[in-house]
Structure 1
Amino acid sequence: MKNFNFLCVFLLTITFSGFSQTPTDFLSKEFHKSRRDALRAKMPPNSVAVVFANPLRNRANDVDYVFHQDPNFYYLTGYREPNGVLVLFSDNQTDENGISYNEILYVQEKDERAEQWNGKRLGIEGAKKNLGFKVAFNGQDFVDSKVDFTKFDRVFIEKFNDDYRNSERETAEIYDLVKSFKEKANYNPKNFLSSIKKQIYEFIKVTPIENSANVAQIIGRALAYDPSLKNDEDLMQYKDATTDKLKKELKQKITLKLASKTNIDVSFLSNNLAALREVKTAEELKLLTKAVRISAVGQIEVMKAMKPHMSETELQGIHEFVYKKYGAEYEGYPSIVGAGNNGCILHYIENNKTKVGNDLVLMDLGAEYRGYTADVTRTIPASGKFTKEQKEIYDIVYAAQEAGIAESKVGNSFGAPNMACRKVINEGLVKLGIIKSVDEKHNYLPHGVTHYIGLDVHDAGTYGTFVENSVITVEPGIYIPEGSNCDKKYWGIAVRIEDDILITNNGPVNLSGEAPRKSDEIEKMMKKKSVLNEFILPDLD
């Protein structure tokens, strides 16, 4: 009997452990509910927010890309499947049975055949149990519902990309859900204005025709921030108009558009979710920190494994193997591994150089762990030792990064690290004779050095002053492509050092600091034995 009982316990242990062999450290349903509550608190009375899941994207023929959820939708729901809609009400609603509710999640319908091919679906009951929604329906219920969005004073949505495919595989794809919403809400993009377009329209309305040149300049500058403005024919014609008569006609049309009534708002969600997502909770920081540390370990293992005969692709594979070993689902963005002159291409993702030789190798990669993405860059010598010229450039970038990190503190402007980094880099380039003065215009650092990270690698945020518990990158670089107007000995040198910095009231914390950054520390790490030294595959040629 004892043996029988032991056998039962053993079999039960195997059975139940089999059900637990999936990740359990995703964000909690309580987290997502708290985010919905925080957004709802910002919504005015008699308003509703409608947020859509990402669509599936077709790769080729009957193969789709691996699905990745829209970050805002995931932030608010935790739902990781396509074809979903969140409807969030500012005030309690009452159904036909007198039951009160203030949010609804619409999900993919359970489908035994579809699940056999593409995996299990949460369905309605799963959405209630696992995600904590009291009210959930199938997507088709959204299409069939009689909800009247025109009765609300404000309807908050994000700007549609209008690139949804109608694959006709499902009865309620995102294509159908968006189409249904537009019909129910009397959606007409001509009748609503983005915040920047509304400001320009207002300016046109109050500006006398004789001062219209000032407006044209403002429109030109606004295009740099919002290229979609070029799709507004009246606005573009006003900008380029050469006669007062035409300007008056266009001013009248634009004033009428300004006066047109619509309850649809495409700015509220993006602005308010950016402010919420900028500040990470303790639960978010735990996942984000793990993503960062995984990425830092990847850099360390490549430092130890690097050999001149390796290809860029092989080095990429080592990084990504480390990510998978730690259970990271994806890379946060296409991996960048650029040897020599390839490193001068900022978003170089071909990674097809067959031998890195004795070049510097710039490696900009980040693991995505439970939705949160790191962004860590190291630049190391393939030979294991920096040349004199490589070290000169590298040490300038390191000093610049140190200055930038020091400026990453609560209350400083978002641009403070960038200014600090550029000052050090310009002074260093002058010292090497690469530029003539610190004020000289050059393209050796063509990008900003800071952005937020989180659910996106370039995460949502206000980009105002730094606040506690936001996480940013500090990533100065120097890129000297072949043929540059400087001493040839520096040609083909590209250096970027990037770390993920937590902003705290006690100063910046480098979450990726365990991956060596100083040139001598990198050389020391590269002398260590790699676990991959004995990993030799058969020759297939």
Structure 2
Amino acid sequence: MAALIGFLIPLLAQAQQAPTYPVFENDKLPISLYKQRREAIESQLGASGAAILFTNPERNRTNDTDFRFRADSNFLYLTGFEEPDAVLVLAPGGIDIDGRRVREVLLVNESNPTSETWLGYRMGSQGVMSLLGVELALPNRRLGDVLEALGKTPGLKLARPLVPPDPSGLVATMSNSVNEWRKGLASNDLNVNSALAKMRVIKSPEEIVLLRKAAEASVMGHLEAMRSVQPGMREYEIQALVEYVFARNGCESVAYNSIVGSGPNSTILHYEADRRLMEKGDIVCMDVAGEYHGYAADVTRSFPVSGKFSPEQKAIYEIVLAAQDAGIAACKAGAPFSSAHVAAAKILGDGLLKLGVITDRNQLGRYFMHGTSHYVGLDVHDAHGDNTLREGAELTVEPGIYIKAGSPCDKKWWNIGVRIEDDILVTANGPVNLSAGAPRKVRDIEALMRQRGIGNIRLRK
């Protein structure tokens, strides 16, 4: 019996120490990738350098209701940690904490039975070390102890702390403590935000897998919207449909507020109300996409509510499509980031001149007033860390033409807003369109719209 007890005691102790945090999915980024990223920043800080980064606080929506939490993207990029009120301390030369010499400390909210009952699971310090591979994790109430240890670093040079905009709650309290503590310290030459922006431009193979999943889920939403839309529907019905499809395909969130603009609303770049009753003859400019494990897609399609483009809608659409084709072709490794915009803008200008919508190329900005591209990644408008396209970068190509009622052109063009947007991966073999599954050609769109979609199924009462 004594031998059996002696055998069981270590197992029971191990069970008590094991993290209770549930892992529901196994396709997130490997913890080794996060470690490589932290080490890359540490190598740039130098042995006497240090960096302190904060994640986002929880944001209040109204009264006692908060928005669903989303971690700061730089913080997520370095740690994979998705809970609020956390601080990452990087000290390449090492600091002494609780008898250990460590180079990185992640301070987090601890889990307890009350928080789990009311708020759900927390990873806690033990879970962070075992599940995310961070060298040392501690309760965030011990930030002062970590700062005291860090302050003993000979010749310490601290990089400017990265604090999210408008910090509140515990994040504001902790960042204020850091600002007081660092007064008089020497500054590190490294701009951590710029260093991370440059790193984030180039996606690893593992990141590309997640970006593809976000794009594929987004494409599915666009397909169902094209099948389902019909006169008499509200814009919000299509919004609800696409967001359902994103979630059903594993997206935790939309990548940005869904834009479903019909008729006059198609000419508003970031129209988010999505309340109008759609009518026969309207064109819809639909900019909607999902976020999968933190990685965004950004996809736009424009199509007629009635299922068939009018001659005027088709003429504008074909110009935008040609411009997008030219922009995508320009997305080659080594090319300037602006290449897609230059190529697309030329086609747009030529097309509107030919139609008589403008009489001078300088008037193009009246109907095309935004850039053609931005990087995509952990943010839909991702960190812009390079003005040269590199293999492994992902960017959008999204030309558009927006002709509002009252514009100085023939009335037949009024209330036509067309944007076509895809997510383009720069590779050694040329650009790859990750969202190509959503049709772009007029004949393909009209053919798809002759099908019925899940949005046409009447709900039971």
TM-score (ref. length: structure 2): 0.91
1:285-310 CA-to-partner distances (Å, cap 9, x unmatched) read: 00011001110111011111111111
CA contact (8 A) 1:150 1:185 kept: no
Q: Tell me if the contact between 2:404 and 2:414 (Cα under 8 Å) persists in the aligned partners.
A: yes
Q: 1:96 to 1:297 in 2, by over 3 A?
A: closer
Matched, 1:426 2:349: yes
Q: Shift of residue 270 of structure 1?
A: 1.1
Q: In the alignment, does 2:164 pair up with 1:164?
A: no
Q: Give the residue type in structure 2 aligned to 1:425.
A: L
Matched residue, 1:204: none
User: What corresponds to 2:433 in structure 1?
Assistant: 510
Cα distance, 1:531 vs structure 2: 3.5
What residue in structure 1 maps to residue 372 of structure 2? Answer: 449
Alpha carbons of 1:53 and 1:406: their partners in 2 closer, same or farther (altered >3 Å)?
same
Equivalents in 1 of 2:22, 2:113: separation in Å? 22
1:104 partnered with 2:108:
no
1:182 matches 2:183: no
Q: What amino acid does structure 2 have at the position aligned with 1:70? A: D
Superposed displacement of residue 133, structure 1: 1.6
CA displacement at 1:154 relative to structure 2? 2.5
One-letter code of the match for 2:141? Q
Counterpart in 2 of 1:488? 411
Q: Distance in 1 between matches of 2:426 and 2:321?
A: 20
Write the mapping of 1:27-426 to structure 2, written as runs, cut at 5 A: 27-95=29-97, 97=99, 99-145=100-146, 146-149=148-151, 152-158=155-161, 160=163, 163-166=166-169, 173-186=170-183, 263-264=186-187, 268-426=191-349
Distance 2:164 2:26 in 1: 33
Cα distance per residue 1:233-271 (max 9 Å; x no partner): xxxxxxxxxxxxxxxxxxxxxxxxxxxxx6346971111
Cα shift readout 1:355-378 (whole Å, capped 9, x = no counterpart): 343200011011000000000000
Larger Rg: 1
Q: What is the CA–CA distance in structure 2 between the aligned matches of 1:270 and 1:354, rounded to whole Å?
A: 44
Relative to structure 1, the CA distance from residue 76 to residue 416 in structure 2 (aligned partners, 3 Å threshold; closer, same or farther) is same
Name which of 376, 388, 398 aligns with 1:465.
388
Q: Distance in 2 between matches of 1:421 and 1:46?
A: 48
CA contact (8 A) 1:143 1:177 kept: no
SS at match of 1:178: helix
- The structural deviation recorded for 1:158 is 4.5
SS in 1 for 2:149: coil
Question: 1:439, CA displacement in angstroms?
Answer: 3.9
Aligned to 1:521: 444
Equivalent pair of 1:108/1:123 in contact (CA under 8 Å): yes
CA 1:526–1:499 in structure 2 vs 1: closer, same or farther (change >3 Å)? same
Give the whole-Å Cα distance in 1 for the aligned partners of 2:115 and 2:159: 32
The CA deviation at 1:165 is 2.8
1:529 maps to a residue whose letter is: R
Between the aligned partners of 1:88 and 1:437, the Cα distance in structure 2 is 55
Q: Secondary structure at the match of 2:423?
A: strand
Q: CA deviation at 1:463?
A: 3.6
* d(CA) in 1 for partners of 2:363, 2:277: 37
Is the contact made by 1:150 and 1:263 (CA closer than 8 Å) also made in structure 2?
Answer: no
Does the CA contact (< 8 Å) of 1:147 and 1:184 recur in 2? no
Output the aligned Cα RMSD: 2.0
For 1:109 and 1:20, how far apart are their aligned partners in 2? 15
> Is the 1:453–1:472 contact (alpha carbons within 8 Å) kept by the matching residues of 2?
yes
Matched residue of 1:400: which SS? helix
- Equivalenced residue count is 440
CA distances 1:83-109 after superposition (whole Å, capped 9, x unpaired): 111101122334463x33211111112
1:304-331 residue CA offsets vs partner (Å, 9 max, x unmatched): 1111111110000110010111121000
Equivalent residue number for residue 18 of structure 2: none
Give, as a single letter, the amino acid of the residue that structure 2 aligns with 1:482.
A
Aligned counterparts of 1:275 and 1:137: Cα–Cα separation in 2: 29
Partner Cα distance (1:287, 1:53) in 2 = 22
TM-superposition CA deviations, 1:320-354 (whole Å, max 9, x none): 01011112100011110000111111111011102
Classify 1:161/1:125 alpha carbon distance in 2 versus 1 (closer, same or farther; 3 Å): closer
Say if 2:37 and 2:78, in contact at 8 Å, map to a contact too: yes
Instruction: Provide closer, same or farther for how the CA distance between residues 82 and 21 of structure 1 changes in structure 2, counting only shifts above 3 A.
Output: closer
When normalised by structure 1's length, the TM-score is 0.78
Does the 8 A contact of 1:148 with 1:185 survive in 2?
no
- Relative distance call for 1:501 and 1:48 in structure 2 (3 A) is same
How far, CA to CA, are the matches of 1:114 and 1:33 in structure 2? 29
Counterpart amino acid of residue 424 in structure 1: I
Structure 1's unaligned 5+ residue stretches are 1-18, 167-172, 188-261
Residue type matched to 2:180 in 1? E
1:191-211 superposed Cα distances (whole Å, 9 cap, x missing partner): xxxxxxxxxxxxxxxxxxxxx
Please tell me whether the aligned partners of residues 83 and 108 of structure 1 are also in contact (alpha carbons under 8 angstroms).
Answer: yes
8 A Cα contact 1:51 1:157, kept in partner: no
| Larger CA deviation: 307-316 vs 390-399 | 307-316
Q: How far 1:532 moved relative to its partner?
A: 3.8
Question: Identity over aligned residues, as a percent?
Answer: 41
Q: Distance in 2 between matches of 1:341 and 1:95?
A: 61
Secondary structure at 1:446 match in 2: coil
Q: Which residue of 2 aligns with 1:227?
A: none
Identify the structure with bigger relative contact order (alpha carbons < 8 Å, sequence gap 6+): 2
* 1:20 Cα offset (Å): 7.2
Distance 1:270 1:121, change over 3 A: same
- The amino acid that maps onto 2:371 is G
Going from structure 1 to structure 2, the CA distance change for 1:161 and 1:455 (only over 3 Å counts) comes to closer
Aligned partners of 1:149 and 1:155 also within 8 Å: no
Paired with 1:523 and 1:299, the residues of 2 have a C-alpha distance of 13
Given residue 397 of structure 1, which amino acid in structure 2 is its aligned partner?
V
Distance change (3 Å), C-alpha of 1:273 and 1:162:
closer
Q: Determine the C-alpha separation between the residues in 2 that align with 1:150 and 1:93.
A: 8
- 68 and 21 in structure 1: CA distance in 2 versus 1, 3 angstrom threshold: closer
Structure 2 unaligned residues grouped into runs of 5+: 1-20
| Distance (Å, rounded) in 2 between the aligned partners of 1:317 and 1:367 | 13
Residue of structure 2 equivalent to 1:232 = none
SS of 2:366's equivalent in the other structure is coil
CA 1:469–1:396: 2 relative to 1, 3 Å? same
Matched with 1:22 is 24
